Chains A and B, each alone.
Chain A
Amino acid sequence: MARLLLTPGLTGALNMALDEVHLRQVADGEPVVRVYTWQPWCLTLGYGQTSADVDRAACAAHGIDVTRRLTGGRAVLHAAELTYSVIVGAAQLDVGRNVTAAYQALSGGLAAGLATLGLATGFSERHRTETGRDPACFASALGGDLTASGRKLVGSAQCHKFGGILQHGSLPARIDEDLLAACLNRPPAAGRDWTCLEELGVSVSADQFARALAAGFEGLLGDLGEPREPTPEEWSAAAELAAERYADQEWIFRL
């Protein structure tokens, strides 16, 4: 049976490690939907993104952690936001290497969940870059990202590995473009293509978001039950993985 997890504010390293722990076991185990937040705030780089995009001193000055995701895509500043991950076996989703199809399948559940909160969203269907090399994820809507009123609301990224598919993403309550620019070594964007909950006049708690996702993914994953925490074994494996990779400055800044 698929599980619905709700974790308290965690470091970036521990959040990324928990997602990998769940991805590693999903091929022989159960799908997971998790809602989480970040303590302290954290800038995550895409798996293959150059760390030259990051101003490490500025991040440190603002008390912002930096880590690297297992998923693709560009940098995200995880601040005033709710984050989700959905992890399913590749065989269950049955989309082969088709990234767009995988996004549509998983973002469909996400959109259905958001609809229960009164948020009407649409899909961005582009899967080719048309926005140059802006290092920020929210600078462009691509490949299954969800938009509201034509602007990007949920930025998501995927990893296909260990026989499973991990999709995680950010639902921002608000975005501080100046802080993002400071962390990313670039001037604030001249225009913007994103929106956020505050701008849409919507307030959502982590618990509400988790229950909304459970409703949205019920068609794909079945009954997810009540929100709960990871198992002690998963916490332990995540702590180990966080220490050896996601908090390892050499690994994070290797590119």
Chain B
Amino acid sequence: MLTPDDLRYQPSHEWCRLEGDLATIGITDFAQDQLGDVVYIELPAVGDTVTFDEAFGAIESVKAASDLVCPVSGEVVAVNAALDDSQEVVNTDPFGAGWMIQVKLSDPSEVDRLLDAAAYLAVCESEAH
């Protein structure tokens, strides 16, 4: 299971890559493995506002639909349109081509509430047992 050190994490298994005031967001390797084959993803549109710790979309795997929980607040500035036709990328490359949205942060201090890789790994290990 991968938990890259350069990312921050939500306990609900979304990751966030920070570059200046932009955050790129997706779901983790642990999450995609637990969900199983992803078959449908519902994402916000560019220009929409998303809120820390609230649903920003939905993800459906073979047998379950779940909320996607946003690790930051701000305005959506990019959406990964490639996921419309190739949702499986979330399973095969969750930290790369499987990214979901990019958000311009409205409150950068929220990032301090996210987990680092070590703390997130501990969450995964507790859930795996």
Contact = CB atoms under 8 A, between A and B. Distances in A.
Interface in B35-89: 35-37, 39-42, 55, 58, 60-67
B65 A127 contact: no
B46 to A, nearest CB: 19
A48 B39 contact: yes
A98 B34 contact: yes
Interface stretch (A6-14, A152-160, A238-246): A152-160
A159 B63 contact: no
A95 B63 contact: no
B67 A127 contact: no
Q: Which of B12, B35, B60, B64 has the most CB of A within 10 A?
A: B64
Question: 8 closest Cβ contacts across the A-B interface?
Answer: A48-B40, A127-B36, A158-B64, A96-B127, A160-B66, A143-B63, A72-B65, A72-B60
A99 B67 contact: no
Contacts of B42: 48
Question: What's the interface size class on B, roughly?
Answer: 20 to 34
Nearest to A159: B65
Interface string A94-131: 01111110110000000000000000000000011100
Interface of B: 12-13, 30-31, 34-37, 39-42, 55, 58, 60-67, 127-128
A47 interface: yes
B60 A48 contact: yes
A161 B64 CA distance: 10
Given A143-B64, A158-B65, A161-B66, 17 more contacts: A48-B41, A72-B60, A72-B63, A72-B64, A97-B12, A97-B34, A97-B66, A99-B34, A102-B64, A127-B61, A128-B37, A128-B62, A129-B39, A143-B36, A159-B64, A160-B65, A161-B65
Nearest to B63: A143
Contacts of B31: 97
